[in-house]
A and B are shown apart, each in its own frame.
Chain A
Amino acid sequence: MNDTLLEQHGLTRDEYGRIVEILGREPTLTELGMFSVMWSEHCSYKSSRLHLKKLPTAGPRVLQGPGENAGAVEIGDGLAAVFKIESHNHPSFIEPYQGAATGVGGIIRDIFTMGARPIALMDSLRFGTLGSPLTRRIVHGVVAGIAGYGNSIGIPVVGGEAVFDACYAANPVVNVFCLGIARTDHLVKGRADGVGNPVYYVGAKTGRDGIHGATMASAEFDEQSSSKRPNVQVGDPFMEKLLLEACLEVLRSGALIGLQDMGAAGLTCATSEMSARARTGMDVEVTAVPQRETGMTPYEIMLSESQERMLFVVKTGREADVEQTFEKWDLHAVKIGVVTDDGMVRVRERGTAVVEIPAAALADEAPLYDRPYRKPQDFDAERALGPEHLRPAPAAPDVFLALLASPTIASKRWIFRQYDHMVRTNTLVLPGMGTAVVRVKGTKRALAMSLDGNGRYGQLDPRRGAILAVAEAARNVACAGGVPIGATNNLNFGNPERPEIMWQLVEAIEGMAEACRALDIPITGGNVSLYNETEGRPIYPTPVLGVVGLIEDGSKVVGRAFPEPDLSVVLVGARSLVAEIGGSEYLHIVHGQVRGVPPAVDLEAERALHRLLPRAIQDGIVRSAHDVAEGGLAVALAECCFENEDIGVKIDLGTLATEPSPDEGWTPMPADHSVLFGEAAGRVLVTVRREDEAAFLARAEAEDVCVRVIGRTGGNRVSIDLNGRAAIDEPVREAETVWATALERALASRAA
């Protein structure tokens, strides 16, 4: 076996040695290909697995933790919420439309293979800055790709986030989350149980597309990356819609034992993982696989990543039922093999075995790397924030408008109105109106969900960045009235073979574990995307958390916007009005810096907040709730005034001269800027009726949550007084115009 061949397969000499040891012989070319995809970073998590074990994955509601196609948590009434997040970063850079579209297709398949009806999608997107024509092209393509797939298949994109930062210019982050509902007694697994049961293939025919896609996603990019375009698959949402309906119909019939999507690593992954989970084997005739092209070799068929294909195991005797159901949907289910008892994945070509590999060797025995990691020596110095990093600050009103115009903060309407976010008629809180909420038909319940992560915080402190991501996603869920019950994570990092990147990954996982434990939120699955770097420039460490919360009574859900005038505005969770500015959007936009320490998180206080809010919301005391995030208090107050019949707000923050600074003894800028634009964590803006104010404050006190009434809704201006002067006093309509049009203007700035 020569080095060039190994290099083409992304395998090291040592890894090759292990393959020979496992097989007791040299592998065939097909076998080598199968090992290479299953042992790729993308499929095996070989760099991260040791550390992922640190995440809490158990809980009283958890029905399925990591290791299956998706996680599942129990939500009452005999139902389960099935959800997962997945990345399609690398393909979305190479071919934005198809890369993003097939990412949507893949995560939807992960959900319905569990026996769940997918009912909602969300996307977490990160792009470069919009001054670049390439970035604008990527934004247009990715959004259109998500829209094209989601709209056609009829699953609403109900929320998400979009962030713009130069570090993502050549490595966009495209993470897609899907949630489905299943009856708990109908959950299915990707297991090939029952020796002698037939193995079926259904869906699109197999072509040469996407061969080695998983390997591509496990390497850095260079200037040749566009030559990898043929590795990106093309999605067919109509085929997937048929598969979805047919699979759910077959599952209801009870004729299926298990099924799995053929996504990354295609048929190789499905055959080996299904066998390994059940400790069985599979004997497959490769020429029986429906093919789109002529002359395909077993190597190509086993490694193809053609989209919209499923592998499933049927109960012996029920073959005709299954075939008929698929025929109804104009799909042709083909028997390609049988479940065996010897633990081997055996692939035959016209009867002759061309592959014989222990299933477990492919699925579970990939090399596990404890890669060296170390904090870079100059890490702290490079991040220190001092007076020399600050420019003369503009006046607060100018800063306010500049922040509202930042694409990261501005309205994402240009994006979400390209998505059908209402199909299935479950969307109780529309995009842009607060935390995404979908109802669960047939029950009183609803589910809140949020995707959050802040790469800049991760860059400044990967551990704290991950903690902040967990806390923010859970807080957003609580703001709608949801109790967090489970989470999925997507870890987007650079090349783990570099110790400083590995250090970021380890820190982030440990931070995430700490936060999830403290907040009692199990991680039920997720995705790791490494090698997000081009020509040695990595993205910021970007952990994205997707938290799902259970709302007992969907009719009590609240949104972000002020619903009426003359309500009391309460700032909840703020120990001090002076807020940290480390890593803030303010520091970035106004001073051009990514420096400082990200906001501290008090996880105990955070947890108390997550107890207080859902109860108060369910009891009807809270009229609206909004997390204070990028842009700080001033931006959060403005956002509550937007998209809402022009209801303004009048705030008086009092006099602050005596307030201590949380910035470790040093306040580097006008104090009013840190109050207005600082991003201290754990804060929520809540409105309550005058007559409920005392009750709400008493509940907060009982939970030991800091609260202060800071003003009232009404008028048509965003008006914030500080130290006896009007710090900000802008007409809602004008501020809203800036905020509502900024993204579209930035995208249209010059022809792409």
Chain B
Amino acid sequence: MKFAVVVFPGSNCDHDAYHAVKHVLGHDANFLWHKDTSLKGADAVILPGGFSYGDYLRTGAVARFSPVMKAVAELAADGGAVLGVCNGFQILQEAGLLEGAMLRNQSLKFRCEHVRVSVEQTDTPFTNLCRTGQVLKMPIAHGEGNFYAPPEVLERLERNRQVVFRYVDADGEPRAAANPNGSLHNIAGICNEARNVVALMPHPERACESALGSADGRLLFDSVVAAIRLAGRPAFGEPSGSLMANAGFLNPDS
């Protein structure tokens, strides 16, 4: 099992993601420079948080032109597992691999704190070890995490069960008070239609050790490891839905 963490100029959670999968969870991992053109045999790719290119034009807007994104898009099209975290989410949106856009937080302020998210969908490579409705505690740290999509897109995302994480309160309910940034439908994370590309604003890599306040984020990485072990090579998005069956096997809910 080999993770790759992409380093864009301005990435700043790259070392955290690397530390989490390599040193905490004990998997093989390496960095990919944004000018790299191949994924060097990685089974799963992480686009980490940060401020790629200073986020100067628009979050993620420049990073999507990096050479490595072509390889990431190919992996995604091939059904491979891709995880975007925070700025990585924004880059995937800019690259057209995920839908919607991020507006500035409703408060117009950067916000860093632990939040709760519920796992809405367990048939993705990054949530297959979770229970539906399971509440995870993870930190957010962003100024532009206010998820927006036009009504028809939002409706389609919901209908296709592409909303993977939602901000919830202590009761597990997606109430307005639990929404830290004004995201529509309290959306904290989504996947693509094929379900192999998943991204979220909270930082699972910061929640892998209880000494840091939560180890709930491990579930996302453990899930993809389990899914890949089961599926052999990355083959998540295959039309046959074979992964779904496999993931279902891992899912304690089913």
Footprint of B on A, CB under 8 Å? 144, 147-148, 151-154, 236-239, 241-242, 328-330, 416-425, 427-428, 430, 439, 441, 554-555
A-side contacts of B110, CB under 8 Å: 147-148, 151, 418-420
B36 to chain A, nearest CB (A): 12
State A715–B147 Cα separation when bound (angstroms): 41
A435 to chain B, nearest CB (A): 16
State A416–B211 Cα separation when bound (angstroms): 20
On whether the beta carbons of B15 and A151 are closer than 8 Å, the reply is no
A-side contacts of B208, CB under 8 Å: 425
B37 to chain A, nearest CB (A): 15
A-side contacts of B203, CB under 8 Å: 422
Q: Identify which of A237, A419, A422 contacts B54 (C-beta below 8 A).
A: A237
B-side contacts of A154, CB under 8 Å: 12-13, 50-51
A120 to chain B, nearest CB (A): 14
Q: Identify which of A239, A330, A422, A554 contacts B211 (C-beta below 8 A).
A: A554
A79 to chain B, nearest CB (A): 17
State A87–B19 Cα separation when bound (angstroms): 33
A-side contacts of B51, CB under 8 Å: 151-154, 237-238, 241
Supposing A238-B54, A417-B112, A441-B19 touch, asked if A423 and B12 sit within 8 A by C-beta, the answer is: yes
Complex interface bits, B108-141 against A, C-beta within 8 A gives 1, otherwise 0: 0111110000000000000000000000000101
Q: Identify which of B9, B113, B143 contacts A329 (C-beta below 8 A).
A: B9
Q: Identify which of A330, A417, A441 contacts B9 (C-beta below 8 A).
A: A330
B-side contacts of A239, CB under 8 Å: 54
- CB within 8 Å: A-B pair count: 86
B210 to chain A, nearest CB (A): 10
Q: Identify which of B33, B55, B212 contacts A152 (C-beta below 8 A).
A: B55
Cβ-closest chain A residue relative to B108 = A144
Supposing A151-B141, A242-B9, A329-B9 touch, asked if A423 and B54 sit within 8 A by C-beta, the answer is: no
A-side contacts of B209, CB under 8 Å: 425
State A425–B15 Cα separation when bound (angstroms): 9
Q: Identify which of B23, B56, B141, B213 contacts A420 (C-beta below 8 A).
A: B141
- The reply on B195 being an interface residue by CB < 8 A is no
B-side contacts of A439, CB under 8 Å: 211
Known contacts A237-B51, A422-B203, A422-B206, then 20 further A-B pairs from the complex at CB < 8 Å, ordered by chain A residue: A144-B109, A151-B141, A151-B143, A152-B12, A152-B51, A152-B55, A153-B12, A236-B54, A241-B10, A416-B112, A417-B111, A417-B113, A418-B109, A419-B112, A423-B206, A425-B16, A425-B212, A439-B211, A441-B23, A554-B211
Considering the complex of A and B, which 6 residue pairs feature the smallest CB-CB distances, nearest first?
A154-B12, A238-B54, A420-B141, A152-B51, A425-B16, A420-B112
Cβ-closest chain B residue relative to A426 = B212
B10 to chain A, nearest CB (A): 5
B208 to chain A, nearest CB (A): 8
On whether the beta carbons of B16 and A424 are closer than 8 Å, the reply is yes
- The reply on B53 being an interface residue by CB < 8 A is yes
- The reply on B99 being an interface residue by CB < 8 A is no
Complex interface bits, B177-198 against A, C-beta within 8 A gives 1, otherwise 0: 0000000000000000000000
B-side contacts of A441, CB under 8 Å: 19, 23
A-side contacts of B243, CB under 8 Å: none
Q: Identify which of A144, A152, A419 contacts B10 (C-beta below 8 A).
A: A152
Complex interface bits, B211-228 against A, C-beta within 8 A gives 1, otherwise 0: 111000000000000000
Give the contacts of B5-29 with A (CB-CB under 8 A): 9-10, 12-13, 15-16, 19-20, 23
Q: Identify which of B54, B56, B206 contacts A425 (C-beta below 8 A).
A: B206
State A554–B211 Cα separation when bound (angstroms): 9
Cβ-closest chain B residue relative to A420 = B141
A97 to chain B, nearest CB (A): 13
On whether the beta carbons of B112 and A421 are closer than 8 Å, the reply is yes
Q: Identify which of A237, A238, A422, A428 contacts B112 (C-beta below 8 A).
A: A422
State A236–B55 Cα separation when bound (angstroms): 11
On whether the beta carbons of A425 and B205 are closer than 8 Å, the reply is yes
20 A-B residue pairs with CB within 8 Å: A147-B110, A151-B51, A151-B112, A152-B10, A238-B51, A238-B53, A241-B51, A242-B9, A418-B112, A419-B112, A420-B110, A420-B141, A422-B206, A422-B212, A425-B16, A425-B205, A425-B206, A425-B208, A441-B19, A554-B211
Cβ-closest chain B residue relative to A152 = B51
Residue among A418, A422, A441, A554 having the largest count of chain B Cβ atoms under 10 Å: A422
Cβ-closest chain A residue relative to B212 = A425
State A154–B87 Cα separation when bound (angstroms): 12
A231 to chain B, nearest CB (A): 24
Cβ-closest chain A residue relative to B35 = A328
B-side contacts of A424, CB under 8 Å: 15-16
On whether the beta carbons of B212 and A428 are closer than 8 Å, the reply is yes
Cβ-closest chain B residue relative to A240 = B54
Complex interface bits, B46-58 against A, C-beta within 8 A gives 1, otherwise 0: 0001110111100
B35 to chain A, nearest CB (A): 8
B-side contacts of A151, CB under 8 Å: 51, 110, 112, 141, 143
Cβ-closest chain A residue relative to B51 = A152
Complex interface bits, B142-154 against A, C-beta within 8 A gives 1, otherwise 0: 0100000000000
A330 to chain B, nearest CB (A): 6
On whether the beta carbons of A425 and B109 are closer than 8 Å, the reply is no
A441 to chain B, nearest CB (A): 7
